[in-house]
């Protein structure tokens, strides 16, 4: 089995959100897809370790916001590499309640969904959501996972379905979000106040891989 | 509800195959995604009306082949806009048995899967497959659904999860596969033996929308 085969599957980059007793929570999801068109339903896969999973289960509601190529990469660092359990990811993140759900500003489109079925696996839950409301917010090319990897040089959280172990590259990699520095200026020559473009971690959080 | 929101979801273009009593069958799928990484599982959504759905159900096996941007667009016409019930889609389509499943030649990568769970909806079945074997065949950029629409000017089969009714465009559209002619030469001036680049239908099968 050659696991590189999995890199050829195409995904978008989404922020999946829910409520935790009135507090907005969310995480990055790549595995989301429309299942039926009438009624419109979307399936999203969330790791059991994602705090958002428990909140979607408890409330029976989730929203999906589609990130565009011009979205702030720090959103991915914030929503993809920390937990809503101990972090208020919405602190400093502009959002609005749309379709009764928290939806981050600046997304291409959003969907407000009611869970109508679930499928359990050893590590992830697939939530099937009926779309109660949806809209387009912004004219931007939806970000694909390939774009995130190739253009933004982004990496994959260990609890993502799409995670595969990556080999040493000799490059400087962020310990927090796994962003791989690939700029023209040698890493050693970057200013001391330089921070990770994905998660905002300081230069000291980078290590050579 | 603004259904244009659904166009922002990202998908690949896949050929999902199975066996019908020893005969290879298959159809185009867009809704496929990795669900877990250990063990590796993939979910694929197939319409109840797809003959391949019944074959996956009967055999408990399916394969996914990832089409690249350089795949022959006629493959999409053949596998996406006719039924394996009354057509031998593999007639004239080079393929090999890989991981005990029929896999078309020239795909970027393939996965041979065993069904471990299903989720039913009104129109589609979501099959969860454990990946028994997979490999990379070709170095090509995986085709995204957006590429198929924008670059190949392809349309969506009415039984796809991603189907939305499309508005009149004033352009010539193939009755068989819904390909929208957008070439520099006016449609009327195309040679009589010109055929649809997606499904191979003759010029007479085009109508003005």
Query: Do residues B112 and B100 lie in contact, with contact meaning Cβ atoms separated by under 8 Å?
Result: yes
Residues 6 or more apart from B107 whose CB is under 8 A from it? B15, B65, B66, B67, B68, B71, B137, B138
CATH of domain B12-146: 2.30.110.10
Six-digit token string for B173: 């559209």
The pTM (predicted TM-score) of the whole model is 0.81
Banded pLDDT at B41 (limits 50, 70, 90) = very high
Q: DSSP secondary-structure letter at B113?
A: E
Minimum CA–CA partner of A33 in chain B? B31
Q: Identify the weakest region by mean pLDDT among B1-10, B43-52, B80-89.
A: B80-89
CA angle A196, A178, A171 (to 5 degrees): 85
- For the cut 90, the answer to whether the pLDDT of residue B84 exceeds it is no
Largest CA distance in chain B: 56
What pLDDT score was predicted for residue A63? 98
Closest Cβ–Cβ partner in A33, A39, A117 for B31: A33
What pLDDT score was predicted for residue A34? 93
What pLDDT score was predicted for residue A106? 92
Peptide bond into B207 cis (omega under 30): no
Higher per-residue pLDDT: A84 or B172: B172
Closest Cβ–Cβ partner in A5, A123, A163 for B134: A5
Six-digit token string for B24: 């290879």
Closest Cβ–Cβ partner in B110, B142, B161 for A37: B161
The distance of B113 to chain A (nearest Cα, Å) reads 12
Label residues B66-82 b or e (16+ Cβ within 10 Å = b): bbbeebebbbbbbbbbb
What pLDDT score was predicted for residue A53? 97
Residues 6 or more apart from B40 whose CB is under 8 A from it? A1, A3, A6, B34, B130, B131, B134
Q: What is the pLDDT of residues B53-83, one digit of tens each?
A: 999 999 999 999 999 999 988 898 889 887 8
The Cα–Cα gap between B200 and B194 comes to 9
Q: DSSP secondary-structure letter at A6?
A: G
Q: Taking residues B74-93, what's their average pLDDT?
A: 87
Q: Tell if the CB–CB gap between B6 and A34 is shorter than 8 Å.
A: yes
Give the CATH fold of the B167-209 domain. Rubrerythrin, domain 2 (2.20.28)
Higher per-residue pLDDT: A185 or B102: B102
Q: Tell if the CB–CB gap between A162 and B131 is shorter than 8 Å.
A: no
What pLDDT score was predicted for residue B112? 98
Q: Tell if the CB–CB gap between A2 and B36 is shorter than 8 Å.
A: no
Higher per-residue pLDDT: A156 or B43: B43
What pLDDT score was predicted for residue B166? 52
Q: Taking residues B11-33, what's their average pLDDT?
A: 95
What pLDDT score was predicted for residue B168? 60
Banded pLDDT at B141 (limits 50, 70, 90) = very high
The distance of B177 to chain A (nearest Cα, Å) reads 19
Banded pLDDT at B177 (limits 50, 70, 90) = confident
Q: Taking residues A171-198, what's their average pLDDT?
A: 85
Average pLDDT, chain A: 89
Chain B residues with CB under 8 Å of A34 CB are 6, 9, 31, 161-162
Q: What is the pLDDT of residues A182-194, one digit of tens each?
A: 888 888 888 888 8
- For the cut 90, the answer to whether the pLDDT of residue B47 exceeds it is yes
Q: Which CATH architecture has domain A165-209?
A: Single Sheet (2.20)
In percent, how much of chain A has pLDDT > 70?
A: 92
Q: What is the pLDDT of residues A14-54, one digit of tens each?
A: 999 999 999 999 999 999 999 998 899 999 999 999 999 99
Single out the residue of A88, A85, A93, A77 nearest to residue A205, CA to CA. A77
Q: Domain map of chain B by residue range?
A: 12-146, 167-209
Q: Tell if the CB–CB gap between A4 and B163 is shorter than 8 Å.
A: no
Residues 6 or more apart from B142 whose CB is under 8 A from it? A8, A9, A10, A146, B12, B66, B67, B68, B69, B108
Q: Taking residues B102-112, what's their average pLDDT?
A: 96
Give the CATH fold of the A11-146 domain. Pnp Oxidase; Chain A (2.30.110)
Chain A residues with CB under 8 Å of B43 CB are 31, 43, 45, 119, 126
The Cα–Cα gap between B197 and B182 comes to 11
Single out the residue of A29, A94, A58, A101 nearest to residue B9, CA to CA. A29
Higher per-residue pLDDT: B188 or B105: B105
Q: Tell if the CB–CB gap between B9 and A33 is shorter than 8 Å.
A: yes
Q: DSSP secondary-structure letter at A73?
A: H
The Cα–Cα gap between B148 and A118 comes to 31
Banded pLDDT at A146 (limits 50, 70, 90) = confident
The Cα–Cα gap between B71 and B127 comes to 25
- For the cut 90, the answer to whether the pLDDT of residue B160 exceeds it is no
Q: By three-state DSSP, how is residue A63 classified?
A: strand
Largest CA distance in chain A: 56
């Amino acid at each position: 089995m050659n696991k590189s085969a999995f890199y050829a599957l195409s995904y978008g980059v989404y922020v999946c959100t829910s409520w935790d007793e009135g507090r907005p929570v969310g995480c990055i999801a790549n595995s989301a897809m429309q299942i039926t068109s009438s009624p419109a339903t979307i399936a999203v896969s969330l790791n059991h370790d994602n705090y958002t999973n428990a909140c979607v289960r408890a409330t029976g509601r989730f929203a999906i916001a589609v990130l565009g190529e011009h979205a702030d990469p720090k959103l991915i660092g914030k929503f993809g590499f920390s937990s809503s359990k101990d972090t208020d990811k919405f602190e400093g993140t502009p959002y609005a309640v749309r379709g009764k759900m928290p939806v981050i500003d600046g997304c291409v489109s959003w969907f407000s969904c009611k869970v109508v079925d679930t499928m359990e696996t050893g590590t992830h839950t697939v939530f099937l959501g009926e779309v109660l409301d949806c809209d387009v917010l912004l004219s931007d090319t939806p970000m694909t996972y390939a774009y995130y990897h190739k253009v933004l040089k982004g990496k994959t959280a260990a609890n993502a379905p799409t995670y595969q172990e990556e080999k040493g590259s000799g490059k400087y990699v962020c310990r927090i979000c796994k962003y791989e520095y690939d700029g023209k200026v040698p890493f050693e020559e970057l200013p001391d106040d330089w921070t990770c473009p994905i998660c905002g971690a300081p230069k000291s959080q980078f290590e050579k891989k």
